[in-house]
Structure 1
Amino acid sequence: MSVLVLALNLPLGQGGLAQGSLGITGLAPATALELGVATAAALREQVARDEWVQVQVELLQPEVTATPQGVAKAKLQPDELAQMAQDLLFALPAGSFGSMQRAAGSTTLTLRVDAAGLDGLLASPLVAAVAAAGNAEMKRIAGGNRHSLALKADNTLWAWGYNDSGQIGDGGVVYYRLTPIQVLTGVAAVAGGGSHSLAIKTDGGLWAWGQNYSGQLGDGTNANRLRPFQVLTGVAAVAAGNLHTLILKTDRTLWASGDNYNGQLGDGTTTRRSNPVLILAGVAAVAAGGSHSLALKTDGSLWTWGRNDWGELGDGTTTRRLRPVHVLTGVAAVAGSRDYAHSLALKTDGSLWAWGYNAGGQIGDGTYANRLNPFPVLTGVVVMAAGGRHSLALKADGTLWAWGDNTSGQLGNGTTTTRATPVQVQAGIAAIAGGTFHTLARKTDGSLWAWGRNGEGQLGENTQTNRLSPVQVSGFAAPPKPDFVVTKIVLTPLSPKANVAFSATVTVKNQGTASGNAGFLDVWTNLTTAQTCGADGNAYASVGTLAVGATKTLIFSGLKTRAVGTKTLRAFVDSYCQAAESNEVNNQSAKGYTVIP
């Protein structure tokens, strides 16, 4: 199953916490490039084949400053998140989606859309930011040299593994963290360097910690930070090399700090910088290698600079470059190996290209010879990641492919055999990250898995044993599946007339492991009044007790339509006025329809 993950900035509907739009502060409007052209093309292919595709949407839930005078901050409430979800559906063509699921209070909803619905999402002006290649989950996990970082659904940041320089962010309490520990809250994106860590909060603030003797934290010093420290504001993306950092601000300017022995900062010198210096403008995405850097401009052109001993810059030479040089066009995403020297680029047609150091077969061309120019490796790719001497690619069908060095089991195929060409190793994957000798992958069910080297606890499963196959990271299990769900909504007629009552037939299923009472089923027609219990357009009925696997169909007659236009009928099971039962999840499903004259 393909999954497109979008991060949305939606105007708040009925709740009214603050005026204007809510989202990551300062993010520029999305461009076609940021929408992940490669992913969109692959998903459209699947829609054409299967007639539907699953889309996961992240509704951003930042802290909001109410007024300049009062620094009041508040989180969106579940009913406000529900309204945001409904606002999204307003933008889609009637009948273009068949179901929607959202857990109570969750910022994530899942849509099943047809071709028109997918096009509506990709063209929606509500889209504020999408990670490279269309997968926002890629910003939420990161592998350092020997440590790991991951965000949970509540935007809390957790870290584990080697902690010799404070890169875990716990104050240097322990040398090895064998299980995840919470480090920060309100985080939107993370990056792991050689021995330093970076996090962007939902307000655009950049926080850094860990090793800093080259100035890679960008705080104006060369002193290690054992706990997160705010460095900058107005940051949109960040990348961490071995000893340097790349910072993309919301105005699309690229800044760099840290070690510069090989010119990896790109300022035309080899001078180390402990304060960020301006490098480029008009940048859409960045990636950091061990001693080289990559930048993707908004026009799709790829630029590289820094060390080039093995051709990692891709310009056909082994000449070190102190300033950016142009390498490729039509690029959607980039990745660089932090500790060794190879690079990856994903083009807008879904093809993956690789170049540079190849002693481990990480280029994927079937040889162990270095490549001085980009070489096409795979097609149909939606996201990719570079480890130390291994490479990773995620295809649109959720299959994970890996190649390169495998001495620690970092490919995850149950062996330690090196692979010089891509091999499928997993399925059902939504996001990936590569450490030096380990790999992280988040599955489509939300669980986090790791494999490879584990001598410093970087796999997060409370041992120091290398793993040749995936093991689940402690504390990152898949969220529990709701017992009672809405499986089908049928409207009669499908396109009702204005001010003429219509009906909805809703089917509820017990997909749990025990018989139970599903509680109430609430439905709302898409009217102008606020969605509250007993409001205009609301109807509810008791579902009663359902055996395991059993379904019950309820018919709601006399539903109101009001004005002509595109509408959405929404249904909640085990709910009364959107209040979740203590033992259940407040599940939402929806059906688009059009009211005709």
Structure 2
Amino acid sequence: MKKLLLITLLFTAFFTKAQCWESVSVGGGHVLGIQSDGTLWSWGYNNWGQLGNGTNFISPVPEQVGTATNWTTVHSGGAHCFGIKDDGTLWAWGHNGQGKLGIGTFTLEMSANPVQVGISTWKMLSTGTNFTIGIRANGTLWSWGQNQDGTVGDGTTIDRAAPVLINASTNWKMTSSSSFRTLAVKEDGTLWGWGSNDSNRLGFPGGTPASYMNVVAVPTQIGTATDWKSVASGFAHTIALKNDNTLWIWGDGNHGQLGNNSTTTFIPYPLQLGTATDWANIESRSSSCLAIKTDGTLWVWGLNNNGTLGNGTQTNLLVPTQITTENNWLSLSSSNNVTAALKTDGSLYTWGYNFFYQIGDITVDTETVVVTPLLINTCNLGTEVFNQKSVKLYPNPVQNRLYVASEETQQYQIYSILGTKISEGTLTVGNSIDCSGVSGGVYLLNLIDEMGNVSTVKFVKE
């Protein structure tokens, strides 16, 4: 009876503590994610403290940032990062050049820990190379950081170290920023833009005075349409959705990022791509484009030299092309190096150029290009140890080989959730356990040191 009770408690603990991924955001060489319990995680490059863990060390696998359990939104810039908590407070960390953290100072070079941005009640934000745009809970529009080419949008060229109000309208819905420009949508469906407008990349219709300006220094409406749903600003192009789920494109198509089967086309104003009316989610922060349709399928096109399209090659795609056969993709985030995506079951996938472990799987060597979606984690059940030994497992969940980071040579035993021994053997430091023959499910791993002390860790086999 006691054994049955113990098994029941362990089973309940494993599944009530299951932490699925809620959101993910890719930076220049790092990735941030929030799990369903409100915890914040980071991995990859960390030269400016962009992982937020108080260090400058690379993390090859997702590691929790602090102990807070109330993160709701996270966003990665090139090397500056932001998170919003459930009380509406905004927190920043990473590189602070040009004041882009918004914490009120230009002199602090970086912060390796989250620091609160003065004013509170934020809803969402987007980042350019050295500036940030934010929408507060009351729907007003704010900005800070480098103001080259009018990127801050306050009508000046003065860098701002703290958030400044750039538009007092209370119906701003969402923004998307690239290197030197921002596109935004209001709740009324109107489309707005500001910043660098070289060759009219903001997309103003012909004849509009702003279309002849290289710099648009304040938010300015683009056209008269009132049915815009969302927008994604790439390096030199833009893709957008309307309320009828049609896809629209404009800007530079030199890498096929306009999806119109051309690398020579430049489109100076919004133009519908194809006739499909089932586009649901779009992403583009470089010259690669990714989108999810209403049926949950994943489509990609544009620049692919770093494998960010995930289609099994490093060849550019000139038209939207479906990758994988799965139909449960939920959300996307990408940079010019890596793409991260979540499925509706809370699982996390990454692909692209792993130059600083931003893939999030320590078994993938640096300088490796991962050209198809790689499963990093389904629901992270953690690697809690039931005594005081320091043990970490990766990847967890595991598909083939389970790597153990521990302090000493040990014997290992694998038990099922019902207490049946599955396998055992000797584990030396740095070795892995072959789990390819283990059926999918939740297991207990006993690690036994030379003194007979046992550390028990749970893991999941895909």
Alignment of 1:295 with 2:184, yes or no, is yes
Q: State the AA in 2 paired with 1:288.
A: S
Deviation at 1:422, TM superposition (A): 0.5
Q: Name the aligned partner's letter for residue 227 of structure 1.
A: N
Q: Residue type matched to 1:285 in 2?
A: M
* 2:227 is the alignment partner of 1:330: yes
Q: Residues 416 and 170 of structure 1: is their aligned pair in 2 closer, same or farther, counting only changes over 3 Å?
A: same
- Per-residue CA distance 1:409-463 (angstroms, 9 max, x = gap): 1100101110111100132211111122211111222110011111121111123
The 1:477/1:310 distance shift into structure 2, 3 A limit, reads farther
Could you say which residue in structure 2 is the equivalent of 1:10? none
Q: Name the CA distance, whole Å, in 1 between partners of 2:102 and 2:248.
A: 31
Is 1:390–1:403's contact at 8 Å kept on the other side of the alignment? yes
CA 1:440–1:205: 2 relative to 1, 3 Å = same
Whether the 8 Å CA contact 1:311–1:355 is kept in 2: the answer is no
Equivalent in 194, 212, 219 of residue 103 of structure 2 = 219
Partner of 1:551: none
1:178 is matched with 60
Q: Under a length normalisation based on structure 2, what TM-score does the superposition of the two structures give? A: 0.71
**C-alpha displacement at 1:227, in angstroms?**
1.0
After superposing on structure 2, the runs of 4+ consecutive aligned residues of structure 1 that deviate more than 6 Å are 105-108
Give unmatched runs, 5+ long, in structure 2. Answer: 1-14, 206-210, 382-415, 419-457
Name the structure 2 match of 1:452.
352
Correspondence for 2:322: 424
Q: What SS is found at the alignment partner of 2:149? A: coil
Which residue of 467, 482, 490 corresponds with 2:370? 467
Corresponding residue SS for 1:306: strand
Select 1:229's aligned residue among 112, 115, 118: 115
- 5 Å-filtered alignment, 1:487-498, equals none
Aligned residues: 350
Q: Is the 8 A contact 1:252 1:284 kept in 2?
A: yes
Listed as ranges, the matches of 1:344-423 within 5 Å are 344-368=239-263, 369-377=265-273, 378-423=276-321
Q: What is the CA–CA distance in structure 1 between the aligned matches of 2:217 and 2:99, rounded to whole Å?
A: 18
Contact kept, 8 Å, 1:402 with 1:422, in 2: the verdict is: yes
Distance in 2 (alpha carbons) for counterparts of 1:451 and 1:515: 32
1:359-378, CA deviations, whole angstroms, 9 ceiling, x for partnerless residues? Answer: 21111122222221112225
Aligned to 1:194: 78
The amino acid that maps onto 1:146 is G
| Equivalent pair of 2:19/2:379 in contact (CA under 8 Å) | no
Show the counterpart of 1:272.
159
Alpha-carbon distance, 1:318 to partner: 6.1
Partner AA of 2:180 in structure 1: S
d(CA) in 2 for partners of 1:342, 1:310: 11
Q: In structure 2, what is the equivalent of residue 208 of structure 1?
A: 92
Within 2, Cα distance between the matches of 1:318 and 1:342? 17
> Unpaired runs of 5+ in structure 1?
1-102, 109-135, 481-513, 517-582, 584-597
Which residue does 1:558 correspond to in 2?
A: none
Provide, for residues 104-123 of structure 1, a one-character-per-residue CA deviation record: whole Å limited to 9, x for no partner: 47899xxxxxxxxxxxxxxx
Question: Match of 2:409?
Answer: none
Does 1:169 find its partner at 2:52? yes
CA gap of 1:249–1:142, structure 2 versus 1, over 3 A, is same
Aligned to 1:477: 378
Query: Residue 410 of structure 1: SS of its match in structure 2?
Result: coil
Q: 1:479 to 1:275 in 2, by over 3 A?
A: closer
Match of 2:197 in 1: 308
Residues in 2 aligned to 1:515 and 1:313: alpha-carbon distance in whole angstroms: 57
Give the secondary structure class of the aligned counterpart of 1:214. helix
Distance 1:334 1:106 in 2: 33
The answer to whether the 8 Å contact 2:56/2:112 transfers is: no
> What amino acid sits opposite 1:399 in the alignment?
T
Write the distance in 1 (CA, Å) between the matches of 2:38 and 2:250. 35
* Cα distance in 1 for residues equivalent to 2:19 and 2:64: 20
Deviations 1:43-67 (A, max 9, x none): xxxxxxxxxxxxxxxxxxxxxxxxx
Q: Distance in 2 between matches of 1:310 and 1:157?
A: 40
Match in the other structure for 1:437:
337
Q: Is the 8 A contact 2:306 2:336 kept in 1?
A: no
CA deviation string 1:148-183 (max 9, x = no partner): 111111111111112121111122331x32211211
Instruction: Please state how far the C-alpha of 1:198 moved relative to its aligned partner.
Output: 0.6
| Counterpart contact for 1:445–1:479, Cα < 8 Å | no
Q: Distance in 2 between matches of 1:318 and 1:195?
A: 33
AA of the residue aligned to 2:232: A
**TM-score (ref. length: structure 1):** 0.56
Contact 1:310–1:341 at 8 Å: present in 2 too?
A: no
Is the 2:18–2:380 Cα contact (8 Å) retained in structure 1?
no
Look up the equivalent residue of 2:233 and give its one-letter code. G
One-letter amino acid matched to 1:305: W
CA-to-partner distance for each residue in 1:49-86, whole Å, 9 max, x for gaps? xxxxxxxxxxxxxxxxxxxxxxxxxxxxxxxxxxxxxx
**What percent identity do the matched residue pairs reach?**
36
What SS is found at the alignment partner of 2:179?
A: coil
SS of structure 2 residue aligned to 1:262: helix
Equivalent residue letter for 1:358 = G
Give the Å deviation of 1:477: 2.2
- The separation in 2 between residues aligned to 1:350 and 1:241, in whole angstroms, is 26
Q: Distance in 2 between matches of 1:165 and 1:358?
A: 33
1:510-529 to 2 correspondences below 5 Å: none
